[in-house]
Structure 1
Amino acid sequence: MIDKATGVETVIRKLKKLPVGHAVDLRTYKRNRSVVIRRTAADEFDVVENGFFQDRFQVDLSKMKKLLKTLFKKEFPRSTKIRLYDLGQADADVHVKRKKI
């Protein structure tokens, strides 16, 4: 769990260390909305938004901060904590069920 106030910087720091082909999953506390980010090249990322809106973005690291701020406002408007999962070698559009039954 990361704090939303410092979440953008934390995610950017994590993405800089992420190997090519690996992904991270950002979820709300209830795990019902997500943003999956997969590194596709040295400076390219594939971002899949799945929550209030369903969208897909191809961005580089320099534009990631602005995109994350926008996505945090859209997908996590009232959240104070965000779950951060390291998916390892995974596709960005594969849905991983993270909700406990």
Structure 2
Amino acid sequence: MIDKSSSIPAILERLQNLPVGHYLDVRTYKRNRFVLLVKKGEDDFLIIENGYFQERFENIPMKKIKKLFKTLLKKEFPRSTKIRVYNMGEYDEQTAENIERKVL
């Protein structure tokens, strides 16, 4: 778990070191809402938002990730102070969004 205030630089650093085809799972403290950040290419990302809103953002370059992720944090995690970040490995469309985590 990391503080929401310091999460953007930490997540951007993890995204740069992430191998192509892998993804990060960012969840609230209660694990009931999430944002998936999938690295499709060297400078090509897929972002899946699932919480208050359900949206997919495709073909997002690295330089636009910071601004988009900042707005997603405000929308999906408005009252959270801590967020959970999981490095999930290889991305598979079927199983990635259906992973069950314990909800508090």
TM-score bracket, shorter-length normalisation: over 0.9
Specify whether residues 16 and 99 from structure 1 end up closer, same or farther in structure 2 by C-alpha distance, changes over 3 A only: same
CA contact (8 A) 2:30 2:103 kept: no
TM-score by length of 2: 0.92
TM-score by length of 1: 0.94
Aligned residues: 101
What's the offset of the Cα at 1:66? 0.2
> How do 1:1-101 and structure 2 match up within 5 A?
1-58=1-58, 59-91=60-92, 94-95=96-97, 96-99=99-102
Q: Secondary structure of 1:72's partner?
A: helix
Task: Name structure 2 gaps, 5 residues minimum.
Answer: none
Specify whether residues 63 and 92 from structure 1 end up closer, same or farther in structure 2 by C-alpha distance, changes over 3 A only: farther
Percent of matched pairs sharing the same residue:
50
CA deviation profile, 1:60-88 (whole Å, cap 9, x unmatched): 10000000100000000000000000100
CA RMSD of aligned residues (A): 1.5
> 1:22 corresponds to which letter in structure 2?
H
Separation in structure 2 between the aligned mates of residue 98 and residue 87 of structure 1, nearest angstrom: 13
Separation in structure 2 between the aligned mates of residue 100 and residue 66 of structure 1, nearest angstrom: 28
Separation in structure 1 between the aligned mates of residue 92 and residue 37 of structure 2, nearest angstrom: 9
Q: After the TM superposition, which parts of structure 1 deviate over 4 Å for at least 4 consecutive aligned residues?
A: none
